[in-house]
Every structure is written in C-alpha cells, then in structure tokens.
Amino acid sequence: MQDTGTPTPPPLRVTLVQTKPKKADVAGNLAVIRDRWLKEIPDADIVVFPEASLTGYFLEGGVADVAVPVEEVAAGLGKPGPRAANVVLGFYERWQRGIYNSVACFEPDGDEYRAIHVHRKMFLPSYGVFEEARFADPGTELAAFDSRFGRMGMLVCEEMWHSLPATILALDGAELILVVSASPAREFREGLGRSENLARWDALAQGTAQEHGVFVGVCQLVGSEGGKVFLGGSIAVGPDGSILGRGPLMEEGLISADMSGKSIERARFESPLLADLRQMLPHLQRSLNRAGTGESRQAETQLAGGGSFRPTAQSPKPGVPVPALDMALIEKILVEFIREEVVRRRGFEGVVLGVSGGVDSAVSLYLAVEALGPENVTGFRMPYATSSPESLEHAGLVLSATGACAETIEITSAVDAYIRDVDPALSDLRRGNLAARIRGVTLFDQSAKLGRLPLGTGNKSERLLGYFT
Amino acid sequence: MQDTGTPTPPPLRVTLVQTKPKKADVAGNLAVIRDRWLKEIPDADIVVFPEASLTGYFLEGGVADVAVPVEEVAAGLGKPGPRAANVVLGFYERWQRGIYNSVACFEPDGDEYRAIHVHRKMFLPSYGVFEEARFADPGTELAAFDSRFGRMGMLVCEEMWHSLPATILALDGAELILVVSASPAREFREGLGRSENLARWDALAQGTAQEHGVFVGVCQLVGSEGGKVFLGGSIAVGPDGSILGRGPLMEEGLISADMSGKSIERARFESPLLADLRQMLPHLQRSLNRAGTGESRQAETQLAGGGSFRPTAQSPKPGVPVPALDMALIEKILVEFIREEVVRRRGFEGVVLGVSGGVDSAVSLYLAVEALGPENVTGFRMPYATSSPESLEHAGLVLSATGACAETIEITSAVDAYIRDVDPALSDLRRGNLAARIRGVTLFDQSAKLGRLPLGTGNKSERLLGYFT
C-alpha cells in the first residue's frame, strides 16, 4: 500500500456527559450545561447530553408545561466560545402544536448556536413502566445529517432497541450514531457488574457498531425519578464493537472517545456488511413491503407441536428460572436512592421509621443507617397491649445492632380509647388494622416533631396488593 | 384472568443436529441423516441440520459437481415413518440453471417428503476467508412460510449478521427462525469459554429473539475443512433471549428445545417491540427508501475532528489492543484439528516432524504428542555441519520431555555433495535455504518409510510471507 500523501484528518473527539437534571427546571438545567459542563470540557468536538436532559424523564402530563421550541434551547446555550463544540442534547420539544421527545444537534454560528438537525423520537415506549405515548407525539421522520465534523445520525433510547432505525441511518451515510437515553435500572443478575438493562445496552450498541461499521455513543441519564433509578453507565463504542469508554454508575460524569475515520475503513474492510446490504437492499425492500402489509399472515398458523414427543431429561424445566441476584449492587443502588430522595432532593438529614421486629422494617432500617448514619435514623417500636413480646425483643435487637436512635411509644391507650368510644364490639381484624394505622399516625407526628422524613417499610407483595401495614 | 377453556396446544419440539458431513458425498451424507439421525430422534417435531450439510462448506468450484435439485434431496430422505418430523437442512442447490446455498423445509406427505419452502441465501460472504459469491448465485427472495407446526422462517448463516432479514421474517409472521450455519472459528479471548465468533452468534440469536419475541434456533456445522475449523456450538434461544440449549464444541451432537406459543405471548407483552414496529413501519420504509437511493449521501462529509483538542489522560491509547487469549481452548481445538486431519480424514496413525530446537517445532511436537500419543510421533533432528550444538541440545530436551520417538539424521553429506557438484561458491544465504530444503526432502522420505504423515511447523509470520523453513 503506497502512501498517497493525503494527510490523515484529526480524529473526532466526542464527550458524553451523563447528567442528573433538576426536575422540570429548563432554565436551570440549561444554565448548568452552559456555565458548567461546556466550560469544563474545552477540547471536545461534540458534547452530548442525555434524553430529557433539560427536565428529567418522568414528567407525565407535566411535559406540556416544560416542552420548549428548539430555538429557545439554542438561545439558552448562550454565546459560543472561540473553539466551541457542537452540542447534542435530548429535550421535550414544543413543535407545530405538538410535544415531542426530541434530540437536537446545535452548531456554533457566529454569536449563537443554531440547530442543524432535530430528530423526534418515533418509538414512544408505552408498556411496563413507560407511558410516553400518553404525553408525547411520535415523530415520523428519520435521516442522517451533515455536520462540520462529518455525517451522523441521532436516536432516542427505545429507537435503539429496534434494529431498523440504526440500519436506516447507516445506509443514509451516518458514520457516527449518537443515542440519548433514559433507561430505568432493572434486573440485577449476579456476575454482571451492572443491571440487566445496561448489559443489554452494551449488546445493542456493540451489535449496531459491528453490523454497520459505525461509531456509537450512548449518553445515559442519571438519578432517581418517582422511584425509578437511572444508573448512568454511558458507553462509546468503536466500529469494530470495542468499548472505547464507559461512564460511572449512579453519578454524573463524562467520558471522551476519539473517533478516527480510519477505524471505520478498517472495520468495513474486515466486515463489509453495509456494502453488501446496499447491494441487496432493493430485494429486501420488496420482501419488507410484502411482510409489512400483513397479507401473507392471513393464513397464519400458531406455533404448536404435534404432541407426539414424551418429555425427556433434555426437556427444559417448566417455570421461570430465578437468577442469582447481585446483592451488593442492589444494596448500593438502594442506599444511593435513599440519599438522593431524602437528603439531596428534599433537604432532610434524617428519617423516622417503624421497627416491628419483622424482616421488612429490619431491612429498611439497615439501608437507612447505611445511607444516612445511625445518628440520623430514629426507629420506633410501637407495641399494642396484645403485641407479642418477641416482636418487641427482635425490634430491640436490630435497633441496637445498627446503633440507630431507638424510641418506644405505647399505642395501647390511643387504640383502646377509640374502641371504647366508637365500637367496643369491633372485630380482631379491625383492631389489628386500627393499631397499624395508629402507628402510621404516630410516625408522621414524630416526623414533624423531629424534622425527619418518614421512611416506608412496605414490601413488593404489599405493593401489588395496594395495601401496606 | 379467567380460564377461557381453550386447551393449551402442546409445545413444539425442535432438535438441532450439528453434523460433520463427509466432503462432497451427497448420497452418503443423506444416508446418515436418513438411517441414523432421523431414527435416533423419534420424538421431535422439526429436526434441523446445518448449512451445506450434504457436502461440507468449503468446496470452491466443486459446488458445481455436488449441487442437487431439492426434489433429489427429498427423495434421498426416503419414506417417512409414522410419526416423522419435518426436516430442515442446508445444501448446495441446483435451481433454474444456477447454484444456490439453500435451506429447505421438508414435510412428510404420504410415502414421501415434500419441500414446503426453500430459502436461497441472499448474502454470500466474499471477504476474509469467504468467497461464496465466486461459486454460488445470490437468492433474491425472503419470506416466512406456514408449516403444520406454525409459521416460521429460515436463514443461512451470514444473513443473521444483518438485522434486516430476521426483522422481515418476524414482520411476515414467523414465530420461529431457524438458521443453518457454517461459522469458521476465530479469535479466542480469555474468559469467553468459546471462540469470539460463537460469542457473537449468541449475541445475534439473543438480540433477534428479544427484539422480535421469536424463538431462534442456530444449527452449526462441525469439523475442519481446508484448515478452517467449524466448532459446532449450536444454540436454541427463547423469545425472552434465554438460552434453551447449547450444542457441544468440536463434536457432532444434538440439542432439543421445547417451544411454547405462550412464551411468545409473554415476551411480547413484556416488550411489544414488534407491534410497535408494525405501526411505525410505513414511516420507516419512507426513510429507508430515501436512504437506500444514496441521494442524500452526495453531500456526504467524512468523520473528522476539528483538531483543537490536546490528548489527555482520557484519550484512548493508540494501537490495537491485544486481548488475553484462552490458551486452553486454543490447545483443545488444535489437538482436535490434528486428530481430525491426520487420523479420521486421512487414515494415518502417526506423524513425522522436524525438531529444530526452536519454538515453532517444539509447540508442534507437543501438540502432536497430545493428539496422537508419543509412540505415534517421530521427531527428527537434522543437523548440518555448521548447525549450533545448542539447537541440537534443545531439540533433544523437548524430544525426551514429550517421550516422542527421536531420530537424528545428519544432512551434511547431502548438502555438501550438492554444493561441491553444483556451485562451490554458493552464498551463506543459499546454503541455509539449501539445508532447510534438504530437511524437507528428508522428512518426506522418512514419512514414506514409516507410513507417518509429515506435520508442518511453520508459523503465522512465515505464512504471511509465503515462505516456510
């Protein structure tokens, strides 16, 4: 191979900034981006912020109040410095009388930033914990675009879980696909080192990069919103599928990756799938058009066996397997969740909680003490006359083991006064529920007295039943 | 949820049989399938055999001699038994004056098997070790099809490395995607437990299953062909991405997986990506059509940075990282490769090789002894007058350490006789090469004398240079 004398262009430096926006505070979050992050990162070509980075993700109907036109975001980024980077960020957008979950690329243009491309999320997840379609409108356009640093494409979160959008961007000439995301943590299998959804993000980003020979950057939101936790864990991936950088878990932070066009050429020489796809595309489109109409599915038959086999040792066992959990990671996330919700978001230093002597409240107590320190946790034993002495004793054991502040408040007088006045013939079931509710009343009152937030101790079965004691 | 009274249909049992076909022996391989495998598997609904299962994969121009019409394959399967399964197999097909790398599904129909669907491989890999496009014609059609066990689709190997074909099949109603494959082993990273290409197959099959909520079965070829090794390692994957079964490495074998339509319903309820895709498809097709024309790429710019950043500690290190290798796996594969090529394929029991005292021949010697036993390996020391005594000593050390049969043959007389007769003024370089070639002559002669195959000891640098000593 001869040296052709063409100078190699400098690599592109992309910085992914995983942020924890203040809820619904568009101006405040824009100010942090403008005055802190863009100043702290003097040497990037493109700086990327997550999905919904100006407001947080879970806003439900609130999106109508915080969605802004893209020009307002451009103005909020202020005046670009002399070597300012392009800025890519996700935000709820007000556009043509509708609301979109959008990502825009802003380029410095004299004294201002100008949006050179806006992509509006087409796939609005509305299942499981998601209900985007209730509050936003789906985009209907997808294309790559040219920037001063080359041709690229942008996607929002769920769109990467489908393989077709990234395929379209690659066919459209994108050499870099930037994904803004807000991916709630779920499933913590042992040995993974992170949650299952982040492991899946690795597979999606690496699969896309390898299939098309493109760079992929995934910028993840951080923080807890409405009980869901966004872990961060942004990644940058090279066109051969190698991980170029990985953001921290559960904290704001940034990763930078240098991307050279030469790596794309090398990856595509090794694996020319994209060129092969271009060649075969007209035929595939014919098949896709036919499949898309659903016509051939009129004769659809459902998957079913002939029923002639007898189950053998090789048969998969029935039932859903329960994988081993990564308890250390789960604990870390829960502790961080308590700190975030109690201290940072609500400005309290301590919590109060009931300690029954059972498992749920013991776990809550341990987590609270680890998160806030024993001096900031007050555990209340609230026995009723007929409570078992063992429960009281067990509660005492966990309280002294954790070193939390321990208080005991007898609720017998209050409960019995109600019974005497209202219904002396009340059943045992009603008496039990009454006692539980008086304990709740007591906790909220002590919360006000001590200036400490009440910490719930319900478990998931109770949550499913909608009934906590 | 009420019980609707509809009986649950029995699950579908799919058996993947990873075979090692005899090269180019269509009738023989069909006989093994008919008389051995189909009889050994009495309780499957569908039995799947790999890509090129009637001939082996690497045939180059030989495909023209072994490609057969699908009717001939159906006839070769013989008369179906009373509860015969459907048969899916990959083979080189003669069709409409062309040659295709095809996969067909055969269904019992009275006294014979009948092909109910043939898929002809569209993506013929022609890069790296592959050159399919030189010898076969590309198919241009892709569709799901109905069988007595439900609606399904078939793909051949490379087609799964693209995401679009499986997407089309899923949109076309396939609930099961059967992939026949011949995937040469490459890259053996430590900690993976198998080769990199098989790890990628996991990701591809799991990604496809999870994206579309379909079952995926990948049936892999086994054996070594022309120095490339097919490892086997077939997999069956459920619609939630779980691995239902995994075939052995480097040996023939089978895995069965039971597939229930209920699992598809559950997976699609948890993650309704396919329904979302159907809804958004017309818009994506518009984008795809535009991207496919390449029109917007006329203004394409190449990825490049502004060059304003200074490399920092965060910059990725230049150069290609060298991952740690899984040496145990590599050794296992090489030992199996020697057994396969020497004993099973060529019917020899032993090998002869030169032992120089250097690293390459020492490694070859150890591998040969492990594969064939020390009594079946003869190592020759072949010193020339000016050879270093140390080399001879080192060669002796590895020979006695392995317990191989050790022989010493002086080549000085032969070399010097040539020099004296032909060119007494010959240079040192020519003398060295002459000695090396006389060693080769000696080895091949000893091979004939002992009835043992010569084993090469070249290394990869020499292979790249095209010059072994």
- Report the CATH number that the domain containing residue A270 is assigned in CATH: 3.60.110.10
Say which residues have a Cβ less than 8 Å from residue A186's Cβ, sequence separation at least 6. Answer: A195, A196, A197
Say which residues have a Cβ less than 8 Å from residue B6's Cβ, sequence separation at least 6. Answer: none
pLDDT at B246: 95
> How far apart (Å, rounded) are the C-alpha atoms in residues B153 and A309?
23
pLDDT at A6: 62
> Is residue B144 within 8 Å of A296, Cβ to Cβ?
yes
Look up residue B124 and give its DSSP letter.
Answer: -
pLDDT at B316: 45
> pLDDT digit string (tens) for A372-417?
999 999 999 999 988 889 999 999 999 999 999 999 999 898 888 8
Look up residue A343 and give its DSSP letter.
Answer: I
Q: Please, which pLDDT band fits residue A337 given cuts at 50, 70 and 90?
A: confident
Indicate whether A342 pLDDT > 80.
yes
Q: Which of A46, A211, A303, A310 to mutate to test the interface with B (most CBs of B within 10 A)?
A: A303
pLDDT at B469: 60
A244 in helix, strand or coil? strand
Tell me: do B368 and B459 sit in the same domain. Answer: yes
> How far apart (Å, rounded) are the C-alpha atoms in residues B322 and B324?
7
What is the 3-state secondary structure of B377-410? EEEEECCCCCCCHHHHHHHHHHHHHHCCEEEECC
Residue ending a domain, choose from B253, B278, B303:
B278
Tell me: do B268 and B135 sit in the same domain. Answer: yes
| Chain-chain contact of A242 with B321 (C-beta, under 8 angstroms) | yes
Tell me: do B247 and B151 sit in the same domain. Answer: yes
Indicate whether A314 pLDDT > 70.
no
Tell me: do A264 and A356 sit in the same domain. Answer: no
Look up residue B192 and give its DSSP letter.
Answer: S
B142 at A interface, C-beta within 8 A: yes
- Identify the helix (H) or strand (E) that includes residue A13: strand A12-18
A234 at B interface, C-beta within 8 A: no
Residue ending a domain, choose from B226, B245, B278:
B278
Find, among B424, B427, B384, B377, the residue nearest to B401 by Cα: B377
How far does B329 lie from chain A, in Å, by closest CA? 22
How far does B170 lie from chain A, in Å, by closest CA? 8
**pLDDT string in tens for chain B (469-residue length):** 445 556 678 899 999 999 999 999 999 999 999 999 999 887 899 999 999 999 999 988 889 999 999 999 999 999 998 889 999 999 999 999 999 999 999 999 999 999 999 999 999 998 888 889 989 999 999 999 999 999 999 999 999 999 999 999 999 999 999 999 999 988 887 777 778 899 999 999 999 999 999 999 999 999 888 778 899 999 999 999 999 999 998 889 999 999 999 999 999 999 999 999 999 999 999 999 989 888 777 655 688 887 755 444 444 444 445 567 888 888 888 898 898 889 988 899 999 999 999 999 999 999 999 999 999 999 999 999 888 899 999 999 999 999 999 999 998 988 888 888 888 888 888 888 888 888 888 888 888 889 999 998 888 777 667 666 6
Both structure tokens of A305: 């066996």
φ/ψ of residue B326, rounded to 5 = -85, 85
| Residue environment code for B217-255, b if the CB has 16+ CB neighbours within 10 A, otherwise e | bbbbbbbbbeebbbbbbbbbbbbbbbebbbbebbebbbb
A452 in helix, strand or coil? coil
Tell me: do A91 and A188 sit in the same domain. Answer: yes
Find, among A204, A127, A227, A116, the residue nearest to A460 by Cα: A227
- Identify the helix (H) or strand (E) that includes residue B227: none
φ/ψ of residue A321, rounded to 5 = -70, 145
Look up residue A158 and give its DSSP letter.
Answer: G
> How far apart (Å, rounded) are the C-alpha atoms in residues B385 and B406?
19
Asked, for residue B406, whether it belongs to a domain, the answer is yes
In this structure, which amino acid lies at residue A165? P
How far does A42 lie from chain B, in Å, by closest CA? 8
> Is residue A88 within 8 Å of A104, Cβ to Cβ?
yes
Residue corresponding to tokens 């878990």? A249
Asked, for residue B231, whether it belongs to a domain, the answer is yes
> How far apart (Å, rounded) are the C-alpha atoms in residues A375 and B266?
47
> pLDDT digit string (tens) for A152-166?
999 999 999 999 999
> Is residue B19 within 8 Å of B234, Cβ to Cβ?
no
* Domain of residue B412, CATH code: 3.40.50.620
Name the more confident of B210 and A298: B210
Burial of A398 (0-12, 13-18, 19+ CB in 10 A): buried
- Cβ pairs bridging A and B (under 8 Å): 293
Percent share of chain A, pLDDT over 70: 93
Both structure tokens of A461: 């079965």
> Is residue A437 within 8 Å of A418, Cβ to Cβ?
no
Alpha helices in A195-326 (DSSP H): 196-212, 261-270, 273-293
pLDDT at A313: 42
Say how many C-beta atoms besides its own lie within 10 A of residue A164's C-beta.
Answer: 24
Look up residue B274 and give its DSSP letter.
Answer: H
Q: Which of A121, A277, A309 to mutate to test the interface with B (most CBs of B within 10 A)?
A: A309
Strand blocks (E) in B232-369: 235-237, 243-246, 253-259, 351-354
Tell me: do A386 and A242 sit in the same domain. Answer: no
pLDDT at B177: 98
Kindly state the average pLDDT of the residues A333-361: 90
What is the 3-state secondary structure of B26-54? HHHHHHHHHHHHHHHCCCCCEEECCCCCC
Contacts of A206 in chain B (CB under 8 A): 203
Strand blocks (E) in A175-317: 176-181, 215-220, 222-225, 228-231, 235-237, 243-246, 253-259
Both structure tokens of B226: 């022309």
Contacts of B165 in chain A (CB under 8 A): 284
> Domain range spanning residue B353?
348-465
Asked, for residue B310, whether it belongs to a domain, the answer is no
Most distant pair of Cα atoms in chain A: their distance: 100
Residue corresponding to tokens 């002396």? A424
Tell me: do B125 and B266 sit in the same domain. Answer: yes
pLDDT at A317: 44
Kindly state the average pLDDT of the residues A236-252: 94
> pLDDT digit string (tens) for A250-286?
889 999 999 999 999 999 999 999 999 999 999 999 9
Tell me the HSE value of B20 on the side-chain side, using a 13 A CA sphere. Answer: 19
Q: Please, which pLDDT band fits residue A5 given cuts at 50, 70 and 90?
A: low
Tell me: do A90 and A196 sit in the same domain. Answer: yes
> pLDDT digit string (tens) for A415-445?
888 888 888 888 888 888 888 888 888 888 8
> Is residue A105 within 8 Å of A122, Cβ to Cβ?
no
Residue ending a domain, choose from A251, A280, A309:
A280
A173: nearest CB among B9, B140, B296 = B296
Q: Return mean pLDDT, chain A.
A: 89
Tell me: do B265 and B124 sit in the same domain. Answer: yes
Find, among A228, A218, A220, A225, the residue nearest to A176 by Cα: A218
| Chain-chain contact of B292 with A173 (C-beta, under 8 angstroms) | no
In this structure, which amino acid lies at residue B191? G
pLDDT at A469: 61
Tell me: do B257 and B156 sit in the same domain. Answer: yes
- Identify the helix (H) or strand (E) that includes residue B167: helix B163-171
The B residues from 76 to 115 touching A (CB cutoff 8 Å) are 83
Percent share of chain A, pLDDT over 90: 64
B1 at A interface, C-beta within 8 A: no
B309 at A interface, C-beta within 8 A: yes
> How far apart (Å, rounded) are the C-alpha atoms in residues B12 and B257?
8
Tell me: do B257 and B357 sit in the same domain. Answer: no
- Identify the helix (H) or strand (E) that includes residue B116: strand B112-120
Asked, for residue B94, whether it belongs to a domain, the answer is yes
Residue corresponding to tokens 């966004």? A230
Q: Please, which pLDDT band fits residue A330 given cuts at 50, 70 and 90?
A: confident
Asked, for residue B306, whether it belongs to a domain, the answer is no
pLDDT at A18: 97
| Chain-chain contact of B150 with A301 (C-beta, under 8 angstroms) | yes
Looking at the structure of chain B, the number of domains it has is 2
Both structure tokens of A288: 């896709």
- Identify the helix (H) or strand (E) that includes residue B348: none
Antiparallel, parallel or unpaired: β A215-220 and A235-237:
antiparallel
Residue corresponding to tokens 């921290």? A248
- Identify the helix (H) or strand (E) that includes residue A191: none
Asked, for residue B360, whether it belongs to a domain, the answer is yes
How far does A32 lie from chain B, in Å, by closest CA? 22
> How far apart (Å, rounded) are the C-alpha atoms in residues B185 and B270?
35
A244 at B interface, C-beta within 8 A: yes
Say which residues have a Cβ less than 8 Å from residue A303's Cβ, sequence separation at least 6. Answer: B12, B149, B150, B151, B152, B175, B176, B215, B259, B260, B261, B264
Tell me: do B117 and B229 sit in the same domain. Answer: yes
> Is residue B223 within 8 Å of B337, Cβ to Cβ?
no
> How far apart (Å, rounded) are the C-alpha atoms in residues A69 and A75?
10
Asked, for residue B321, whether it belongs to a domain, the answer is no
Asked, for residue B234, whether it belongs to a domain, the answer is yes
B163: nearest CB among A138, A167, A288 = A167
